[in-house]
Amino acid sequence: MPIYEYKCSACGNGFEYLHFAGDDTPPRCPDCDSPQVERQLSCFAKSGGQGGGASLGALAGGGGGHSCGSGGFS
């Protein structure tokens, strides 16, 4: 069951929506109930876990931190 990020075209609200298997119904904005929402590109996270794997910052070519912008919706 994937979680997608959306942004409402009507009010600008950013939100996440959990799609259940077989559910093709597009989400509505939880703030204004508008059906005019656009799916956004999402960042992904890597679990640290055990071992000496590279950090997300190193994988993204950065010097630490994440490479997905401000971390929120504008």
pLDDT digits (tens, 9 = 90+) for 24-38: 888 999 999 999 999
Burial group, residue 73, by CB count within 10 angstroms (0-12, 13-18, 19+) = middle
Q: How confident is the model at residue 46 (pLDDT cuts 50, 70, 90)?
A: low
| pTM for this prediction | 0.56
Map out the domains of the chain with their CATH numbers. Answer: 1-43 (2.20.28)
Distances (CA, A) of 7 to 38, 50, 73: 5, 36, 8
